[in-house]
Amino acid sequence: MDLSKIARKLDLSDSETLTRKAGEFRRLSDLQFNSSAIGVGEVCKAIICLEIAATRLGILFDRSNAIKLSGMSEKAYTRSFNLFQNGLGFKSKLDIRELAVQFGCIRLVASVQNGLSLYKDRFVASLPASRRANADFSRSVFTAAAFYLCAKKHKLKVDKVKLIELSGTSESEFSCVATSMKDLCFDVFGISSEKKDPRDAKGNRDMLDALPEKRKREDGGYLSDDNEEFSRTKRRKPMDEHAYNQWKSSVIASNNLTKTRVLSKRTRQTSLMEIKEKMSK
């Protein structure tokens, strides 16, 4: 597809420099990923590369005209543009204040900033020391996920699909980041008033299994309850064995009585048969 012709159709000035840059991006995209796999044809790919080049060179670009020329919907074009931009290594940055203005949630700015800062600190602290220096939070998906979770916590309606498009990420990655934020910063991003920490539960469980005979009531009420239940079980065990022995004895006695009756009946029947035989003779 001739980039020069498309550039002229889009009324782009300084088309020679622009088309040369767009050509570099198109060749780079061919090396980095398969555009047809994400549903982007050659015409749309050329237009997207021209827009990326225009943005990098500071040249005005009419996106509405580009969308009409591409034959795609605005939503599909925006998604494809973000995928191309991320694939080429040009990370789009989201500003929290701009998002707040765009979605009409000005009061969320401070909450999102504090939540992001807390998430970064806790996430880095959870990593091994050798990996902490490589932690990267520059991607827009972190800002978008934090903004969405804060809006949800404050019961404000935010278009999740539009946020994902603005961040230039996929829905699965967005959900993954949002889940990570809720797990590490439930006090900031969570909705429920209570949340049990699985690490605390595991620690309590380990302690419960380790030294059951040395726990005190102040170590946790449920521990003493377990010990009390254990004591009740121990007290109940001899009683259960005694009841079982009584039942066993009664069953054996009943079986013996049944056998005795059967033998007695057979003996009487044999005697009657012998009497009948003698009378018949």
Final residue before a domain boundary, out of 43, 69, 87: 87
Is a pLDDT exceeding 70 seen at residue 37? no
Is a pLDDT exceeding 80 seen at residue 274? no
Answer yes or no: do 259 and 178 share one domain: no
Tell me which DSSP letter residue 219 carries: G
Answer yes or no: do 108 and 77 share one domain: no
Q: Is residue 194 part of a domain?
A: no
Confidence of residue 110 (pLDDT cuts 50, 70, 90): very high
**Residue 256, domain extent:** 217-280
Is a pLDDT exceeding 60 seen at residue 258? yes
Final residue before a domain boundary, out of 45, 68, 87: 87
Return the minimum-mean-pLDDT range out of 34-43, 149-158, 225-234, 262-271: 225-234
- pTM assigned to the model: 0.50
Taking the CA atoms of 208, 214, 218 and 222 in sequence, report the sign of the dihedral they define: positive
Is a pLDDT exceeding 90 seen at residue 146? yes
d(CA 186, CA 197): 10
Could you give the number of structural domains in the chain?
3
Which residues, 6 or more positions from 186, have their beta carbon under 8 angstroms from its beta carbon? 192, 195
Q: Is residue 206 part of a domain?
A: no
Q: Is residue 123 part of a domain?
A: yes
Return the minimum-mean-pLDDT range out of 35-44, 59-68, 193-202: 193-202
3-state secondary structure 89-118: CCCCCCCHHHHHHHHCCHHHHHHHHHHHHH
Is a pLDDT exceeding 90 seen at residue 234? no
Q: Is residue 204 part of a domain?
A: no
Provide the CATH number for the domain around residue 28.
1.10.472
Final residue before a domain boundary, out of 52, 87, 122: 87
pLDDT of residue 41: 84
pLDDT of residue 149: 94
pLDDT of residue 210: 34
Q: Token pair 């520059």 is at which residue?
A: 138
Contact indicator for 195, 183 with CB cutoff of 8 Å:
no
Q: Is residue 162 part of a domain?
A: yes
Residue from 179, 117, 120 nearest 145 by CA: 179
Task: Work out the average pLDDT over 66-76.
Answer: 87
pLDDT of residue 121: 92
DSSP string for residues in 179-196 = HHHHHH-HHHH--SS---
pLDDT of residue 132: 86
d(CA 183, CA 241): 49
Of all residues in the chain, the percent with pLDDT exceeding 70 is 70
Provide the CATH number for the domain around residue 176.
1.10.472.10
60 vs 92, higher pLDDT: 60
d(CA 28, CA 90): 12
Residue from 114, 87, 100 nearest 163 by CA: 100
Q: Is residue 33 part of a domain?
A: yes
Which residues, 6 or more positions from 33, have their beta carbon under 8 angstroms from its beta carbon? 87
pLDDT of residue 17: 86
Q: Is residue 195 part of a domain?
A: no
Confidence of residue 123 (pLDDT cuts 50, 70, 90): very high
231 vs 208, higher pLDDT: 231
pLDDT of residue 198: 45
Answer yes or no: do 117 and 138 share one domain: yes
Answer yes or no: do 59 and 142 share one domain: no
Answer yes or no: do 80 and 106 share one domain: no
Task: Work out the average pLDDT over 132-144.
Answer: 86
Is a pLDDT exceeding 50 seen at residue 10? yes
Over the chain, what is the mean pLDDT? 75
